[in-house]
Amino acid sequence: MKIELKDKHFEVFITKQQIKQRTAQIGELITSEFEGKDLVIVGVLNGSFIFMADLCRNIELPLSTVFLRISSYVGTATSRKVRSILGIEENLEGKSILIVEDIVDTGISMNYLLNQLKSHKPAEVRIATLLHKPQAFQFNYHLDYVGFEIPNKFVVGYGLDYDGFGRNLPDIYQLSTS
């Protein structure tokens, strides 16, 4: 199936069924690895909100959630500059933090976030991302839970956007080559 958003054409890349199945698997793994810990899920807005909601419903543990907002994209490309728009005000000291992100590509935003979270003195910080682009990744920190590794292509849907559009799509679409 193909769609059009603004001036670009996209085609289905990862179906909602694949996303649902992989999200359930990650939720089970997180449940087993965080049992007995004070778990705080940190969602990175705007893109992670759908994945985070579905992931939280698949984690069978007590947890709390907070959101922050950082931005490094303009259109279909990274600006390579990170802006913090909405920060964390909760006390995270001594807690187990799970950052939930929609996509880690260059890793610039996540690197920024990891450095910011250090000042909160958490017991541990782990990362869950729906998508990862290994070819674009420029850092060596570990991604603990990865839904799908994808090529270095622009994608939308399931929380990911193109200039604010497409977040509500249930599947993930890639930029069409035709």
CA distances from 27 to 8, 102, 145 (A): 33, 15, 9
Catalytic residue list contains 105: yes
Secondary structure element (H or E) that encloses residue 115, with its range: helix 108-118
Catalytic residue among 54, 102, 105, 161: 105
Q: Is 78 left (phi over 0), alpha (psi -120 to 50) or beta?
A: beta
What is the CB neighbour count within 10 angstroms for residue 32?
10
Contact 167, 47 (CB under 8 A): yes
- Distances from the Cα of 70 to the Cαs of 31, 73, 81, 112, in angstroms? 27, 10, 10, 9
Catalytic sites, residue numbers: 105
